[in-house]
Amino acid sequence: MPARHRRTRPCPTHRAGPPRAAGLRRWLRGPVVTGLAVVATCVGVATAAASGGGTTDAAGSASLQSLASVVPAAPLTGSGSAAAAQVAGGSATGAPTGRTGGPGASAGSGPGDISAFLASRRDDAVSQVSRGDVRSGLQQQAEVQARQRIEALARLTDKAEERADELAAARWVLPISRYNLTATFGESSYLWSTVHTGLDFAASEGAPIVSVATGSVTSTKYDGAYGNTTVVTSDDGTEIWYCHLSSQTAQRGEVVAAGDPIGAVGSTGNVTGPHLHLEVRPRGGDPVDPLAEFVAHGIRP
């Protein structure tokens, strides 16, 4: 028998032919309408923005409402959705743009962002001014301290100079440059009625004698066994006696400094040869050891 002709379904892998006209219209309607709605919305927003700032928000709101009624929410996804939202209302969160941002304002910036920016700049300026005030105050304080240190150093310098003058006035020098010590304080000999009361500087006749310390000449006379004697009294009352002089160049009442000439070596009075007999009498009292006084004043004969 001849085989019965059976109708078979098309193979699942067989590609169907192009859709019919009605199907084609349904297939294209969704994307085309969506695109046209987006374009219309963008044109409406741009026109409203160009017409004036006061109508921008109203036009944008109406365009968004018409777009929501025409375009389904689901198909607008990804970057196209974000771009449409930014064109329609600003940022993705709906913040208005264009009207208050001004030139150079980024998308999504509004009055709150500008106020925060201006506040931050103001705070920076105030902070810079405050730092400048602090630096100025520190500089003034440093200048005051520097002046105080300079004044303190000047006072110390004055005191040091005064002290140097006092030391110079109180310094002692040797009465003769070339000599031999032939007798010291406290020695006993037939040459003296009692112990020796000073230092003997043996030198050549006429050798110059200078004042040991600064003071005033209080006596110039011939004094028995002492011969020609010159007495110089310092400010503290110490008397220094210069005895057996051949000549006396300093006059009574004259003020002499340490090292000034007052006479010459001689052999007047009770002597065995030319020499200078020197005595030290604190406050005009009894004589003390001149050697100890010389050492106390930094001089060692």
Please state the domain extents for the chain: 21-89, 110-170, 180-296
**Tokens 């009352």 -> residue:** 237
pLDDT at residue 28, rounded to an integer: 52
Rounded-to-integer distance, Cα 161 and Cα 182, Å: 39
What class is the 180-296 domain? mainly beta
Rounded-to-integer distance, Cα 222 and Cα 205, Å: 18
Cβ proximity of 184 and 196 under 8 Å:
yes
Q: What is the mean pLDDT of the chain?
A: 74
Residue 35: pLDDT band (50, 70, 90) is: low
How far apart, in Å, are the Cα atoms of 1 and each of 6, 7, 8, 260?
15, 18, 20, 172
pLDDT at residue 97, rounded to an integer: 45
| DSSP code at position 74 | T
pLDDT at residue 241, rounded to an integer: 97
Q: Which stretch of 44-48, 243-247, 283-287 has the lowest confidence by average pLDDT?
A: 44-48
Cβ proximity of 260 and 250 under 8 Å:
yes
Report the Cα–Cα distance between both ends of the chain, in Å, rounded.
169
